[in-house]
Chain A
Amino acid sequence: MRKCLLLLLTAVIYLSVHAQPNLVAFKGALIYTGTGRSIPNGVLIVQNGKVITVGDATTSIPANAQVVDMTGKVIMPGIVDTHSHIGGPEGGDRSSPLNPDIRVLDAVNPTSKAFKKALAGGLTTVNIMPGSGQLMSGQTIYVKLREATTIEDLLVTNERGVYGGIKMANGTNPMNGTPGYPGTRSKSAAMDRDLFMKAVEYKKKIDKAGKDSTKFPDRDLRMEPMVEVLNGKRIVHFHTHKANDILTVLRLQKEFGFRVVLHHVTEGYIVAKEIAAAKVPCSIINVDAPGGKAEAMNLWAGNGGVLEKAGVLTAIHTDDGITDSRLLLRSAAMSVRDGMSREEAIKSLTINGAKMLDLEKRVGSLEAGKDADFVILSGDPFSVYTHVLQTWVEGIKRFDLSNPADKAFAVGGYGVYSPDAVTHAHEDDHD
């Protein structure tokens, strides 16, 4: 009998902690949907990890729903970080300047405490990348910050059937003196082109074989992801800062027709018209001061506003550890300060980034049928006084500021971080 009671009690506790309440309605908050809409006194209903309804105060709430009063709070979609190095992706391997075959999948620690820090910042989807010390440092992974034991628990596959892109870089970072690495910008581009030409040849053989698998070329681990790149299945995430380097990426893109997102894009405001004409999206970064290297000297927080006005699809990323995952809202606020519209700034943290990962059908906005990834804020997303109160991933509360163990990750303290939660910011590896 007593055992039975204990079992029952355990079951009740288990259910209250783990099971998703079937139907939850958050009412009273100002809701930013991520699609450019904001709903004062809105209603968000979620069930089984999905958004059921988003609407205004007149939205009918089913009688069986658990109702949570969020009056005075702000709800926005879970933040999408299009460029991060959390979880230990490792910088990139120095054996070759071009590493299409290397996967951060094989390095990232799925239980890294760095993910808890990211959740404390309201992040729910992250593109984890290898570094920029190579022309091509390897395959990235798109993750959801779920509870995880294995890396597979974190992965999110997009509608094109891949769970990552490929990281490239130009400018000074790959020109780091490693034997076999480029010494000049022209050599960098020539080496990129050489790899793409080989991939074009390899793809031709596959195309020619058609459905006859006996005529397929031998498997080639370097060429397989490159074919995905040429097919438009795998997006190239291209680290590039200076205006001339940005134009080089656009030139390569035009020559080989791959899909590309420009990353960092420090001097994007100088060539915004050219970027817009090429219809290439930009994932930008705001850093507190310029410099640290020559290609970041002209950094300006007005970049995002200029790109917005030019009609460029723009996201804002952390590049964690260059900036802190817990402060990505602040980065977007810096863009607002220097000219970006508030609406676009919300989108730059959510739906715009989701589009850059081919994940916009699942994440990036609060719309019926999409994943229930959202952040509850104490106030205006762009205010210094605002805190992330809760972060939900697929209908599960993953961060709660009122829980001291979670709060520790929001602020730090003795024994909170282990060295593996530290994302190093070295010239050779990152940014």
Chain B
Amino acid sequence: MKQLLIYSISLLLSATASAQIAVKADTIFTMSGNPVVNGTILIKDGKIEAIGQNLSIPSNYKIYTAKIVTPGLVDARSTIGLSGAYNIPSDQDQIEKSGPLQPELRAIDAYNPEDKLVDYVLRNGTTTVHTGHGIGALASGQTMIVKTKKGLTDDVTIKPVAMIAMTIGPSVSSNFQSPGTKSKQIAMLRAELLKAQLAMKASQKDTSKVGDLRQQTLQQLLRGELKALISANTAVEIMSAIRLAKEFNLKLVIEGAAEGYRLIDQIKASKAEIIVHPTMARAGGAMLNMTMENAAILTNAGIPVSIESGFEGYVPKSRIILYEAAIALRNGLSFTEALRTITINPAKLLGIDNRVGSIEKGKDADLVLFNGDPFEYTTKACAVIVDGKVEIEDACDR
């Protein structure tokens, strides 16, 4: 009986938590048309019900107010949930060092929604993350897309398989005995893709010849069902990625792209999509020639970019896309373009712009409530709403 009572109370509580909400703000950056000044957003059943200037708020809606509201931020590429905050062997699942080519590894089998960093990025406005296997293997595994709200992996997952994470660059050769050179890296990738291509052909005549799990995964890549997420930073690496994608007709997403600003024409011609390294990444190794102006130079040349939190091996253990976009803003991106790099641009790149990335009727009610200009150093995210539920609140009262 007592248990039943507790159960009904908790049911009641969870119902309240996802109750109808109205958010009023001085300015709402919808990322779909002009900002709405003195606007209101109505939220019902986890979705945006309405947005406008003179909406009447039904009496049963709980009202939140903010100076600025943006869509929940979308992180184009992270390893969060796989590269745990403690940075000890038991919480590092982003890279499997038993072999350099393991596209069959699924992110969903490792993702830890309870890692402290997941909560931390949520507090800083990130509501959707493209995460998964890391940088530093020819094919480290698959990626997935999750919401950062509290819940079990299956409950927070938007896409269990998003892309195949691949890397061209010195990190591969430092993680594995072979490949030891750039040329060998590409040779090994070509050999494996060719094998998958041949198996795909053979299976058209005889379905039993489809190949093993690895072959089948790579065939998804070859058929264009999954995008190839290739980490490449120097001009040489970027051109190798473009060449490889052309040879095997891969849908290419270039991650990092530190020297992307040197290859405007080539990137445009390749139609590759670009995820730019964290603006505050450390200039060294393959990223020696990075510039904080990269995102602005590419954007101004007409190449839409998304900014990622990427991967960090030490302190800080994760970057925060809101901060990285802020530094891109002070280095040449306009306010709107900076906000696009962490909202609608990655939503499109990830193929989830029907759900997230902008504030529009029918989309997921993912919102960040700020007490000022979101990019200003002294501004805080006071509340974060995911799928219509207030996940973080009163953060500005601390």
Interface residues of A (CB under 8 A from B): 287-294, 296-297, 302, 321-322, 324, 327, 330, 333-334, 336-338, 382-385, 387, 411-417, 419, 421-427, 431
| A–B Cβ pairs within 8 angstroms, 10 of them | A291-B84, A291-B117, A297-B86, A324-B280, A338-B380, A384-B377, A412-B283, A412-B289, A413-B293, A419-B284
- B241 at the A interface (CB under 8 A): no
Q: How far is the CB of B316 from chain A (nearest CB, A)?
A: 4
Mostly helix, strand, loop or mixed at chain B's interface?
loop
Asked if B280 and A287 sit within 8 Å, CB to CB, the answer is no
- B291 at the A interface (CB under 8 A): yes
Q: How far is the CB of B114 from chain A (nearest CB, A)?
A: 13
The docked-state distance in angstroms from the alpha carbon of A327 to that of B324 is 12
Q: How far is the CB of B87 from chain A (nearest CB, A)?
A: 5
| Residue from the list B292, B313, B318, B331 in contact with A289, Cβ < 8 A | B318
Q: How far is the CB of B202 from chain A (nearest CB, A)?
A: 46
The docked-state distance in angstroms from the alpha carbon of A330 to that of B376 is 10
With contacts A297-B116, A413-B289, A422-B288 taken as known, whether A287 is within 8 angstroms of B315 at the C-beta atoms is yes
The residue of chain A having its C-beta at the shortest distance from the C-beta of B284 within the complex is A422
Q: How far is the CB of A54 from chain B (nearest CB, A)?
A: 26
Across chains A and B, the number of contacting residue pairs, with CB separation under 8 Å, is: 129
Asked if A293 and B376 sit within 8 Å, CB to CB, the answer is no
Which residues of the other chain, A, contact B85 by a CB distance below 8 angstroms? 289-292, 297
The docked-state distance in angstroms from the alpha carbon of A293 to that of B262 is 36
With contacts A302-B398, A387-B330, A412-B292 taken as known, whether A289 is within 8 angstroms of B378 at the C-beta atoms is no
- B344 at the A interface (CB under 8 A): no
The residue of chain B having its C-beta at the shortest distance from the C-beta of A421 within the complex is B283
Asked if A337 and B379 sit within 8 Å, CB to CB, the answer is yes
Asked if B291 and A287 sit within 8 Å, CB to CB, the answer is no
The docked-state distance in angstroms from the alpha carbon of A333 to that of B314 is 23
With contacts A384-B377, A412-B291 taken as known, whether A321 is within 8 angstroms of B315 at the C-beta atoms is no
Which residues of the other chain, A, contact B117 by a CB distance below 8 angstroms? 289-291
Asked if A412 and B330 sit within 8 Å, CB to CB, the answer is no
With contacts A297-B116, A419-B284 taken as known, whether A383 is within 8 angstroms of B377 at the C-beta atoms is yes
The docked-state distance in angstroms from the alpha carbon of A291 to that of B376 is 24
Asked if B377 and A292 sit within 8 Å, CB to CB, the answer is no
Which residues of the other chain, B, contact A290 by a CB distance below 8 angstroms? 85, 116-117, 120, 316-317
Sample of 9 further A-B pairs with CB below 8 A, known A292-B312, A383-B376, A423-B282: A290-B116, A290-B120, A321-B282, A324-B282, A336-B377, A382-B377, A417-B288, A422-B288, A427-B314
- B323 at the A interface (CB under 8 A): yes
Q: How far is the CB of B334 from chain A (nearest CB, A)?
A: 12
- B227 at the A interface (CB under 8 A): no
The residue of chain A having its C-beta at the shortest distance from the C-beta of B293 within the complex is A411
> In B108-123, which residues have CB < 8 Å from any A CB?
116-117, 120-121
The docked-state distance in angstroms from the alpha carbon of A213 to that of B15 is 84
- B340 at the A interface (CB under 8 A): no
Asked if A411 and B259 sit within 8 Å, CB to CB, the answer is no
Which residues of the other chain, B, contact A302 by a CB distance below 8 angstroms? 398
Asked if A426 and B314 sit within 8 Å, CB to CB, the answer is yes
